[in-house]
Structure 1
Amino acid sequence: MQYQNILLIDDDDDDREIFKEAVKSLGNDILYTDEKNPNQALVKLRKSELLPDIIFLDYNMPDMNGQEFIIQIRNEKRLKDIPVILYSAYSKEAAEQLLLTNGNEFFISKPYNFEDLKNILKDVLNISD
């Protein structure tokens, strides 16, 4: 499946900007939105007619962390089947301990450079060159 509608939830302004630029570099046919606050993201998701195909979610955020956000959306009929990629500086082993997985959550480490992020996005979004 190729994902066309992406939501990133990350409280770091620089990380959101880099992620946005990486998505834009992959092509104009991808709808990208981001949200700084997970609580606001939940409100918008609940009201939105057009839901994202996939959510990239930072783990470490104030007010509500990534695991708490996942618990919230998995308890909502309209949102529970949206795949979530935990996108964090945590190690994979730590992420596996943190996730309450139902098969719709995955983990990727935040890459250290732009090209690595583009390659990760190509893989996750099933985009070929």
Structure 2
Amino acid sequence: MLYKNILLIDDDHDDAELFLEAVASLNKEISIRWIASPRAAMEELISSEYLPDLIFLDYNMPLINGGELLEKLKSNNRLSSIPVILISTPSEEFMKLKLEQNAIIKYFKKPNSYSELIAILDSIL
């Protein structure tokens, strides 16, 4: 398994709780952390000794959106190699550009059901 240490950055508490529960239900020995604030996530990533193997990044967040945080991650030499999957509803043009630039490895819209979320996560993890 490639991803054992995952970071979720999402300001929506309910969505994050559902995401954490879905990952736990996969029983794949994955450690997942959640940080609600993009600013706090960036500060922690910069100062942390251990980096995640994968970041799930919500796009629609106040103050700093996922696109802005992605730019900051990819412009930091130490953090730029962490694979990022954008979630939520950015424009398709934005997503295509970020995929072409290798800034993200995948994107998906937040699913409407728990079972759909589990299927998506199972295919990635």
Please report the TM-score for the alignment, with normalisation by the length of structure 2. Answer: 0.90
Q: Does the 8 A contact of 2:70 with 2:103 survive in 1?
A: no
Matched residues, number: 124
Which residue does 1:96 correspond to in 2? 95
What is the alpha-carbon distance in structure 1 between the residues aligned to residue 88 and residue 38 of structure 2? 14
Q: Render the CA deviation track for 1:23-58: whole Å, top value 9, x for unaligned.
A: 110116101001100000000001111111110111
SS at structure 2 position matched to 1:57: strand
Runs of 4+ in 1 over 4 A off after TM superposition: none
Which residue does 2:45 correspond to in 1? 45
Gaps spanning 5+ residues in structure 2: where? none
Q: Is residue 26 of structure 1 aligned with residue 26 of structure 2?
A: yes
Gaps spanning 5+ residues in structure 1: where? none
Which residue does 2:36 correspond to in 1? 36
Amino acid at match of 2:38: P
What is the alpha-carbon distance in structure 1 between the residues aligned to residue 81 and residue 89 of structure 2? 25
SS at structure 2 position matched to 1:49: coil
What is the alpha-carbon distance in structure 2 between the residues aligned to residue 97 and residue 28 of structure 1? 30
Cα distance, 1:102 vs. partner? 2.4
Same amino acid, percent of matched pairs:
46
Mapping of 1:1-129 within 5 angstroms? 2-27=2-27, 29-90=29-90, 93-96=92-95, 99=98, 101-105=100-104, 106-125=106-125
